[in-house]
Amino acid sequence: MRYFFEITYDGTKYNGWQNQANALGVQQVVEETLSKLLREKISIVGSGRTDAGVHCVQQFFHADLAREIERQDLLVRLNSFLPKDIAIRAILPVISTAHARYDARERTYEYHITVRKNPLLVGRAFYFFKKCDVALMNEAAALLLGEHDFTSFSKVKTDVNHFRCTVKKALWVKRGDLLIFTVSANRFLRGMVRATVGTLLDVGSQKISLKTFQSIIKSKDRKQAGMNVPADGLYLTSVKYPRSIFLKSKEG
């Protein structure tokens, strides 16, 4: 029986999502906890990878279990055994062919910047002290909308077939001392959001022009783009799937 699990976590202590030989990932912690509770070897597949230090408001993974489960009971037990910085929000039955990664239709990230030094936001937002023109950054962000080759904002060594992504939303909003960038797309490349934010900050601080920003997109050259902003300001906030993969059940 295949299930989707909705998960949220604080990425501070973890070296990203994926299992690694010499570092602790969120995936390893969840697999070990599930295997212990269900007394069988459980492997999980996530909707995507997050880098070290990146936080997650909503992500999904799928797992194949030997038998049908009482979802609410497992949910309570899982959250009792998982560490405080990882929580399961829901367990959802899905069709046998549903895939947490390949069936995802849209993913959304937020990047949080504080323009005022705040000790309470250490590990939660990037402190950027330079004055930024938010309207100008939104003009640049609008250039990202649609389908483009995002090689300029991707890590150079990455195992993908192509670098084209379709961006559906890219918007900066100011809330008090916070600057929040929200971006939604059908897929994201490794390091794409952090490099994009770094380059948009170059626009906002008037280090580069809108014309230069547009030429960076077209250049397909990572060296032309701005810095990779720190991971701890980045949040995966939403992953969307077609309704057709979810099964109805007596638990709702």
Phi, psi of 235 (to 5 degrees): -130, 125
DSSP the chain: -EEEEEEEE--TTSS-SS--SSS--HHHHHHHHHHHHHTS---EEESS---TT-EEEEEEEEEE-SS---HHHHHHHHHHHS-TTEEEEEEEEB-TT--TTTT--EEEEEEEEESS--GGGTTTSEE--S---HHHHHHHHHTT-EEEE-GGGS-SS---S--EEEEEEEEEEEETTEEEEEEEES---TTHHHHHHHHHHHHHTTSS-HHHHHHHHHHT-GGGS-----GGGEEEEEEE--GGGBPP-TT-
How many angstroms separate the CA atoms of 57 and 64, rounded? 23
The residues annotated with a catalytic role in the active site are 51
